[in-house]
A and B are shown apart, each in its own frame.
Chain A
Amino acid sequence: MQTGIDIGYNATKAVAAQRRATFPSAVGTPDRARFSLNGKGEDALVLVAPAHVLVGAEAIHQSRFLHRREDRGWIQSDEWLTLFLAALTELTSGTAVDVDVVTGLPVAFYTDKALVQERLLGEHRVQREGRRGQVLRVANVRVIPQPFGSLLAEVLDDRGQIRRNDLAQAAVGLIDIGGKTCNLLSVNRLAEIGRETASVNVGGWTLVRAVRQWLSQHYPGLDDLRDHPLAAAIQQRNLRYYGEPIAEFAAVVDNLAADLTQQILSEASHLWNGGATLDALLITGGGALLLGDHIRQHWPHAQIVAEPVYGNAVGYWKLARRLWGQ
């Protein structure tokens, strides 16, 4: 089974031939509601091995103790490997499966790729609640710079063959807005231009934190909202306080988003000499939904990729198909 796995600070995305899955990158203690009127939680992502944990949205809502990290050492943690294994169990329920993986690392941390390969390669034993145990043998792993995935999603077909020769030949700027960082990658004829590649410490969570700070000053109590529900409210530009919508919420979010976008634009303009020499500019990542429109106001030829959340994972999967799917 060829897979594309994108483990981000915000969400984990997984793609295989017939399946795709995404869930918040949250791992918590296995505390569960004992009663639910709407049946919600029945399809919760619960692992009983290698550790008994609740993963994803249910962890955010139910776990007493939630693990969510945003540092470079995250890839060495048990939680990171748990997210990887949980993603694979979303793609297959087979009891013995050979797996090929393409995944990505942020541009700034790309030198850690050997560490990622080492953690993922080999045999993993995992069990989902209500299922038989699974043995997942990871035979091949490739780690590429994260934003490359979204370019490959556009350039390659489902067998991993080049379908967009125009884009493959072009000079392309990629703005990948993740949870904590924004990766800027410049690619010419599918080769990374190292001197035009950088990482900016601005991401979707930066906006969430800025909004939280504003809430703490103006709407006490709402600043206790957990990260993911607040991110959803920001995306919808809608938040309620004691049952009433906050009238100025959308405008405040837009102003804060514009300020953060300015930091990305400033770095990208400097890096890409104003962007005039780029044939195409692609905006991707979950943060594209929060900040993408503000970037397009500055660069009209920039486009938000068709599926910004899944973009990288789809590209990883297509590359996996090319490398090992024949």
Chain B
Amino acid sequence: MTVTEPSRYVRKTVVLDRERDAALLAWLDAQANTSAAIRAALQAYSTASTITLEEVYRAVQDLTAQVRGGQWMPGPSVSTAESNEDPELAAQLDQLGL
């Protein structure tokens, strides 16, 4: 009895639309090694950092704790900060390019 080991490689077929995916097709055509380029693209996409809702919630909680604890206070906004600008010059700047 002969036992055939499964191939190391797997072949997948991807369908692209000539019109809608023209940019992708052009990119693929420009690659020296299409398979390697697709592998790299998939790898980059699948390992790109994704932020979960839980992480956002934890970050907001941390920030709230810092503000309550007085570790962080917002700086004065420009509108409330004392401005020594000449009103005529300030108006000139605000109108620039209009």
Contacts and interface: CB of A to CB of B under 8 A. Distances in A.
A132 B96 CA distance: 36
> Which residue of B26, B89, B93 has the most chain A CB atoms within 10 A of its CB atom?
B93
B78 A102 contact: no
Contacts of B45: 132
B96 A144 contact: yes
Contact of B30 (A30, A144, A161, A165): A30
A38 interface: no
B26 to A, nearest CB: 4
A102 B26 contact: no
B44 A130 contact: yes
A30 B26 CA distance: 9
B44 A191 contact: no
A30 B24 CA distance: 13
A168 B27 CA distance: 50
Contact of B97 (A51, A129, A144, A156): A144
Contacts of A159: 78
Contacts of A30: 26-27, 30
Interface residues of B, number: 27
Contact of B90 (A113, A162, A319): A162
A132 B50 CA distance: 12
B93 A326 contact: no
A195 interface: no
B48 interface: yes
> Which residue of B45, B89, B90 has the most chain A CB atoms within 10 A of its CB atom?
B89
B89 A190 contact: yes
Contacts of A48: 23-24, 26-27
A169 interface: yes
B92 interface: yes
A51 B90 contact: no
A138 interface: no
Nearest to A141: B97
A169 B86 contact: yes
Contact of B86 (A168, A322, A323): A168
B30 A32 contact: yes
A52 B44 contact: no
Nearest to A322: B93
A30 B86 CA distance: 51
A218 interface: no
A255 to B, nearest CB: 40
B23 A52 contact: yes
Contacts of B23: 48-52, 127
Please give me the 4 A-B residue pairs with the lowest Cβ-Cβ distance, nearest first: A142-B97, A144-B97, A52-B26, A190-B92
Nearest to A133: B23
B96 A326 contact: no
B18 to A, nearest CB: 14
A31 B77 CA distance: 49
Interface string B26-42: 11001010000000110
A120 interface: no
Interface string B73-98: 00001110001111011101110111
A30 B27 CA distance: 9
Contacts of A142: 96-98
A177 B45 CA distance: 44
A81 interface: no
B24 to A, nearest CB: 7
